[in-house]
Amino acid sequence: MSADPLAWLVSLEGVPSAFAGARDGIDAVLRDRGLRRTSPEMTGESLLRGAHASAVLEGSASSLAEVREGTGDEISADAVRVSTELLSLVPVVRRAPLQAFARLHALAGHGSLPADRLGRPRDAESAGLLRTVADLVTATTDAPALAVAAVVHAELVVSAPFPSHNGIVARAAERLLIAAKGVDEKSLVVPEAAHLALRAEYESNLRGYASGKQSGIHSWLLYTAEAYAAAAEASPLVRDAEE
C-alpha cells in the first residue's frame, strides 16, 4: 500500500496535465503582471473579492460594493472576518491544520454561535473526519499542491464537520493552502470568484464528489483545475489592468 495518501490523484486521466496547466496560468499572471505591481493593498483587494464571492455562495445577497463599504449582510460580514485573518494562519496550517481549521470556523461563526461551539466539530465522527482531512495537508505526497487544496475543499464541504459555515471554512481553507503550499504566497488569485462565476458547475461537481464514486471525484478535480485557471484571471492584477 502506498505511503502517499493522494497517489491515486495523479493516476486519474487528465488530472496531472490539468493541474499543471492551471499552475502555469497562475504563475504567468503572478510573474508577468504582478512582478512590479504587487502590494499589500492588492492582496487585501483579492481577499475582499474572495470573501464577497464566498459569502454569495453561502447565501449572501450583498453586492461587492456593499461588502467594500462594510454595509453587507451578516453572511458577508462572517466571510470578511475570516479573510482578514486568513494569511496569518499560513504557518499554522503548515504545522497544525486542525488548529487552522478551528480558527477559520471560530472567525466565521463569531456572533452567531455560542462560544463553546466555535471551532469545535459537531460530534466525535466529525472530529475524526477533520483529523483525516488534516492528515492530507501534512502528508508527504507527489500530488500537485492545487490538487491537495481541491480535495481539502471538497472534503470540508461534504463532511460538514462544523455546526455552521462549512462552505465558508472550506473555501477559506482552499485559499489558505494555495498560499501555504507556495502556489500563490501573497494570495492574489481569487478561487472563490471563480467558483461563483462557475456556480452551476461548482455545485454540481461537489454533489458528484459527495457521491464517493471515482467518476464524481475525477470530475471535481478536473473542474477545480478549470476554476483555478479562472481564479488567476479573476485576480485584481488582471482585472485592474483591464479596467
Domain residue ranges in the chain: 7-242
What pLDDT digit, counting tens, does each position of 41-76 carry?
999 999 999 999 999 999 999 999 999 999 999 999
Interhelix angle 40-58/166-180, nearest 10 degrees: 150
138-150 per-position pLDDT tens digit: 999 999 999 999 9
- Give the residue-averaged pLDDT of 199-205: 98
The torsion of the CA quartet 129, 164, 157, 236, rounded to 10 degrees, works out to -130
pLDDT tens by residue, 24-40: 999 999 987 655 567 88
Whole-prediction pTM: 0.95
- Give pLDDT, residue 36: 55
pLDDT value at residue 108: 98
Which whole number is the average pLDDT over 224-229? 98
Top-tier CATH class for 7-242: mainly alpha
**pLDDT at position 207 over 50:** yes
Q: What is the pLDDT of residues 95-121, one digit of tens each?
A: 999 999 999 999 999 999 999 999 999
How many whole angstroms separate alpha carbon 22 and alpha carbon 42?
21
Strand partners, 110: 113
